[in-house]
């Protein structure tokens, strides 16, 4: 309860904002939840479980809204999930040290920051055969799955733009795929983690309620008319701060 006691207003507000923005583009927001929890000084043992739970809440809402609006495509998400589900389970079962966790987190957040600030949606699509697309999807799914299990980042922030680049679907279909993907890998990783590192989620109920409300609003707007690209860059500042704090912990 200690983290809620001194940030009982700021944290829920931040988490609401993250859920609102990221759910609108088919993401769970795990990277930002994790970054905020690192900044708040929460335990590295608890962070993945909490982040995965919040991912699950937001992606459930996103999946429902995007599927209801007929944006989801099984043929797009299935090749990613074939490898992502088992790998996220394996990642959740790994007992990594705090030092290794911070390194994995640093690398993943640097990747997220690059995706937010350096990615340019030029409309260019890769020309690949169906076989190559499937192979690539399986490889990417396995990498994002293991990452999700270890640090609690659902991987949607990487997956959504890749779907567009690979020419697998349009922006709405990519967002729908991201939501379904994050939901599935979060479930798999959580099942695994509950066997090894269970925590009392009641202590974090205000955060769960905040992302539920934000995710509901954001996923509805995103599946209809909302575009949150600029807000994502604004929230990327949280990622950058977390990167600096991790570097400080690792090297100073």
Question: Taking a C-beta distance cutoff of 8 angstroms, is the pair 29, 17 a contact?
Answer: no
Residue 117 binned pLDDT confidence (cut-offs 50, 70, 90) = confident
Cα R_g (the chain), whole angstroms: 17
For residue 3, the model assigns a pLDDT of: 44
What is the rounded distance in angstroms from the CA atom of residue 48 to the CA atom of residue 233? 23
More confident: 101 or 133? 101
- Torsional sign, CA 107, 52, 92, 76: negative
Which burial class, exposed, middle or buried, applies to 2 when counting CB atoms under 10 A from its CB (0-12, 13-18, 19+)? exposed
C-alpha to C-alpha distances, 37 to 13, 156, 169, 194, 198, nearest whole angstrom: 13, 19, 33, 20, 17
pLDDT tens digits, one per residue of 81-94: 999 999 999 998 88
pLDDT range class, residue 6, cuts 50, 70, 90: very low
Q: DSSP label at 234?
A: H
């Amino acid at each position: 309860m200690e983290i809620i006691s001194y940030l009982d207003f700021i944290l829920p507000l931040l988490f609401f904002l993250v859920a609102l923005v990221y759910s609108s583009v088919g993401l769970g927001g795990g990277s930002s939840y994790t970054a905020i929890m690192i900044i708040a000084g929460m335990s590295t043992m608890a962070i993945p479980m909490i982040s995965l739970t919040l991912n699950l809440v937001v992606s459930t809402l996103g999946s429902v809204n995007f599927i209801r609006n007929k944006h989801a495509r099984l043929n797009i998400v299935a090749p990613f999930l074939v490898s992502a589900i088992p790998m996220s389970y394996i990642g959740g079962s790994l007992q990594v040290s705090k030092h290794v966790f911070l390194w994995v987190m640093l690398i993943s957040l640097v990747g997220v920051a690059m995706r937010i600030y350096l990615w340019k949606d030029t409309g260019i699509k890769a020309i690949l055969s169906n076989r190559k697309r499937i192979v690539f999807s399986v490889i990417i799914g396995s990498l994002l799955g293991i990452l999700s299990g270890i640090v609690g980042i659902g991987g949607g922030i990487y997956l959504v733009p890749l779907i567009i680049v690979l020419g697998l679907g349009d922006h709405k279909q990519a967002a729908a795929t991201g939501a379904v993907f994050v939901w599935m890998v979060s479930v798999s990783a959580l099942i695994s983690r509950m066997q090894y590192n269970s925590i009392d989620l009641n202590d974090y109920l205000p955060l769960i309620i905040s992302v539920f409300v934000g995710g509901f609003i954001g996923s509805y707007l995103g599946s209809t008319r909302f575009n949150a690209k600029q807000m994502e860059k604004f929230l990327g500042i949280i990622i950058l701060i977390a990167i600096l704090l991790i570097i400080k912990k690792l090297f100073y």
